[in-house]
Amino acid sequence: MDSGEKQRAYWRKNLTYLAILLGIWALVSFGFSILFVDELDRISLGGFGLGFWFAQQGAIYVFVVLIFIYVALMNRLDRRYDVDDRDGSGS
Amino acid sequence: MSVQAWTFVMVGLSFALYICVAFLSKATSTKEFYIAGGRVSPVVNGMATAADWMSAASFISMAGLISFMGRDGSVYLLGWTGGYVLLALLLAPYLRKFGKYTVPDFVGDRYYSQLARVVAVVCAIFVSFTYVSGQMRGVGIVFSRFLDVGINTGVLIGMGIVLFYAVMGGMRGITYTQVAQYCVLIFAYLVPAIFISLLMTDHLIPQIGFGAAVNDGSGQYLLEKLNSLSQELGFAVYTSGQKGTLDVLFITAALMVGTAGLPHVIVRFFTVPRVSAARSSAGWALVFIALLYTAAPAVAVFARTNLLSTISNAEYADAPSWFTNWEATGLITFEDKNQDGIIQYVGSNSAVENELTIDRDIMVLANPEIAELPNWVTGLVAAGGLAAALSTAAGLLLVISSAIAHDLLKKGLRPGITEKGELIAARISAGLAVCIAGYFGVNPPGFVAEVVAFAFGLAASSFFPVIILGIFSKRMNKYGAIAGMIVGITFTAGYIVYFKFLHPELNSVDHWWWGVSPEGIGTLGMLLNFAVSTAVSQMTPPPPLEVQQLVESIRIPRGAVSS
């Protein structure tokens, strides 16, 4: 692969990760916590309705996990495409 | 010791800590002043970002708001945390790679246009001033209630402290003081939450406690108890929503996108050493923020339950001391309409008339006293509130000073200015900004809350699309960006000004477009911005080759930025 092609492949892979992770982000925040909240509230989790729990707790935990998954995926991708900036060659 | 003595001790100790830290981290170059030399570790930066982001609004107001809004309060919880996912995934790594000092820097270079830069500078300054005056007000409230010094003296003391370390240390001083402030504020928030959780539910962790059973032997869940208390008194059921679904959706989105577009948050990711560090730093920031944000709804439920069970139908003559103390500040008012000497605190669905109004902002500050915790906890909470307000104020002042010294002087009016001159200009503008902010703190415009909604809407409808398109579309050119920003801002500002300032009497769901409140309209403004800028850029020539190369180079972590 020439370097331009490699860069495009790297970028496409990055966009795929973004689409998947942001899809989960939207599902949990707009879906579980807002649109389907009443349906989910019929399931109870201790004293919480599940929808209420997602809206006031669960979604935040999911957000944290999503960011760290992205960090791990991208660190791996950076190394695989040899574009990471860890070895002092960065700006 | 009394509450006041404890408050003096706690506030005094925390202030001494900030001043020591500031002394140890003085800035000597513009790079250190604006972005702490670009050498801050991701965890430290995450903690500083958390302190920067969590303002008096998060610390003092949010749990109170939620306790009055019930489930609808989740717009704040979701909105103010979900934005960090956007930051980490869509903005922070690329802006770090771009590697300049400010957000207007990026807009100006990416859109090869002085006009775009100036529009960005104006937005950055407006958004930051709005915020900063709110913080100063928070400082004033804490001082006047707990230290008995009068709101204006309180603001002046707060100004003095911020002036000292922001002007001297710049971003370097601010970053390390913010770390100290984060520790103070999170400790101050969690200690009373844990205490109250133990008292009410026997659970150590408030996040679990508020979904657990109350320990009064009834076996009832806390939320059930609160729901039935609320219904008895004619309030809405706590765990159900009152706002329209579409409105909740739009407000949440506007707050998320607005968060990701706020200049004082974005600039924090310029301070870390590497692109990968910018990604993980956003994650750490959210971890530290989540500690407070997941405790806030628990605090809201504890406070609401305690308030309803101790105050409703109590004899006014026997009212607890916190009640009379807050009454003296005018933030609680009681009017015995039926002259029976009993406090009727009821909702709109009740047969009797409500006699009590409570300012939402006092819930967190009064909570330890309502739950009868020891006096030192109250002092600690006051110190925490000040830490939250001061750390945010300092971060904002830095954005204002860099916008003036760097974007306006260095990149605009006086390109020949020396490094030393620019540093002096940055310090002077930080000093001036503190004074202006202090003025608004002493003479607050009556519409601080409205203006904050304005700031989020503005950031959402202007900065966010411009930055996203600048990174993810090579085709986006200056015509599209400028047209998009202008349409987005004009639409959003117009809608907010119409309902909030020109025709407040029409500000209700019957008159809103599609039931979207002014708080949520930024989302629509953002969508408009995306649509307009994409359309306009398709009809105008593509950006020059070197700008397209700049975009290519910020997408890849390694290598220098070409520009």
pLDDT along chain A (91 residues), means of 10: 81 94 94 86 83 90 95 91 65 38
Q: Do B78 and A90 touch (CB under 8 A)?
A: no
Tell me which chain A residues have a C-beta less than 8 angstroms from the C-beta of B97. 91
A67 to chain B: nearest residue by CA? Answer: B283
Contact between residue B406 and residue B101 where contact means Cβ atoms under 8 Å apart? yes
Using a 10 angstrom Cβ sphere, with 0-12 exposed, 13-18 middle and 19 or more buried, the burial of residue B151 is: buried
CB spacing of B557 vs A56 below 8 angstroms? no
How much is the pLDDT for A17? 94
B244 contact A CB<8A: no
CB atoms within 10 A of CB B199: 15
Tell me if B211 and A46 make a contact (CB, 8 A cut-off).
Answer: yes
Nearest CA in chain A to B206: A57
Flag if A34 and B245 touch (Cβ within 8 Å).
yes
pLDDT tens across the length of chain B (563 residues): 788 888 888 888 988 888 888 777 766 667 666 666 666 788 888 898 898 888 887 888 888 888 888 888 888 899 999 999 999 999 988 988 887 777 888 888 899 888 888 888 887 887 787 777 777 777 777 777 766 666 777 778 878 877 777 777 667 777 888 888 899 999 999 999 998 888 888 888 988 888 888 887 777 888 888 888 888 887 888 888 788 888 889 999 999 998 888 888 888 888 788 888 888 888 999 999 999 999 999 998 888 888 888 888 888 888 888 888 888 777 788 888 888 888 888 887 777 888 888 877 788 888 888 888 888 888 888 888 888 888 888 888 888 887 777 777 777 777 777 777 777 887 888 888 888 888 877 776 655 556 666 778 888 888 899 999 999 998 999 899 989 988 998 898 888 888 877 887 877 777 788 888 888 888 999 999 999 999 999 999 999 999 898 888 888 888 776 54
> Would the CB atoms of A56 and B71 count as touching at under 8 Å?
yes
CA dihedral B432, B433, B439, B443 (to 10 degrees): 160
Chain A residues in contact with B293 by the CB 8 A cut-off are 60
Task: Tell if the CB–CB gap between A59 and B558 is shorter than 8 Å.
Answer: no
User: Between chains, do A63 and B82 touch, taking CB under 8 Å as contact?
Assistant: yes
Largest CA distance in chain B: 79
Residues from chain B that touch A84, judged by Cβ atoms under 8 A, are 276, 557-558
| Distance (Å, whole) CA B22 – CA B162 | 10
Instruction: Please give the C-alpha separations between residue B440 and each of B122, B186, B333, B362, in angstroms, as whole numbers.
Output: 19, 27, 26, 21
Q: Are B193 and B179 in contact (CB under 8 A)?
A: no
Inform me whether the C-beta atom of residue B99 falls under 8 Å from chain A C-beta atoms.
yes
Contact list, B212 vs chain A (CB under 8 Å) = 46-47
pLDDT score at A86: 66
Q: What is the pLDDT of residue B38?
A: 64
pLDDT at site B454? 72
Question: Do residues B382 and B2 make contact, with C-beta atoms less than 8 angstroms apart?
Answer: no
Q: CB contact, 8 Å: A9 with chain B? A: no
Residue B221 and residue A67: Cβ atoms within 8 Å? no
Q: Is A61 exposed, middle or buried (0-12, 13-18, 19+ CB in 10 A)?
A: middle
Name the residue among B71, B85, B280 with its Cβ closest to that of A25: B85
Give the CA distances from residue B289 to residues B73, B86, B436, in Å, rounded to whole numbers and listed in that order: 17, 15, 29
Looking at residue A1, its pLDDT comes to 55
Residue B412 forms contact with A (CB below 8 Å) = no
CB-CB: which of A14, A33, A48 is closest to B78?
A33
Residue in B with minimal Cα distance to A83? B558
- Of B30, B530, B547, B38, the C-alpha closest to B267 is B38
> How many A×B Cβ pairs under 8 Å?
143
Residue of B nearest to A9 (CA): B556
Q: Which of residues 19-48 of A touch B (CB under 8 A)?
A: 21-22, 25, 29-30, 33-35, 37, 41, 45-48
| Residue of B205, B556, B561 to mutate when probing chain A, most A C-beta within 10 A | B556
Give B-chain residues touching A7 at CB under 8 angstroms. Answer: 552, 555-556
Q: Are A47 and B212 in contact (CB under 8 A)?
A: yes
The answer to whether B557 contacts A7, with C-beta atoms less than 8 Å apart, is no
The CA distance from B385 to B391, in Å, is 10
3-state secondary structure (DSSP) of residue B351: coil
On whether the pTM is more than 0.90, the answer is: no
Q: A77: distance to nearest CA of chain B, Å?
A: 11
Q: Report the chain A residue with the minimal C-alpha distance to residue B207.
A: A57
CA distance B455 to chain A (A): 22
Residue of B nearest to A88 (CA): B558
- pLDDT for position B22: 76
Specify which residues B356 forms β-bridges with.
B334
